[in-house]
Amino acid sequence: MAKLSSNRLAWNYTDDAGNVWRVAAEAALVAQGKQGGSASSGAVPPRPNWGKMRRCTVSDASGRSRTVVLYDTAATLITPGTSINVNWQDDSHAMTSNGGYINEDKQGGRVTKQTT
Answer whether 3's CB lies under 8 Å from 91's CB: yes
Q: Where are the domains of the chain?
A: 8-97
* Separation of CA 47 from chain center: 16
User: What tens digit of pLDDT does each residue of 46-86 get?
Assistant: 999 877 899 999 999 988 899 999 999 999 999 999 999 99
In the sheet that holds 83-88, the strands lie side by side as 65-69, 55-59, 91-97, 83-88
pLDDT at 5 over 90: no
DSSP secondary structure letters along 8-69? EEEEEEE-TTS-EEEEEEEHHHHTTS-S---B--TTSPBPPS-SPPPEEEEE-TTS-EEEEE
Measure the CA–CA gap between 86 and 63, rounded to whole angstroms: 14
pTM value is 0.84
pLDDT (average), residues 1-19:
89
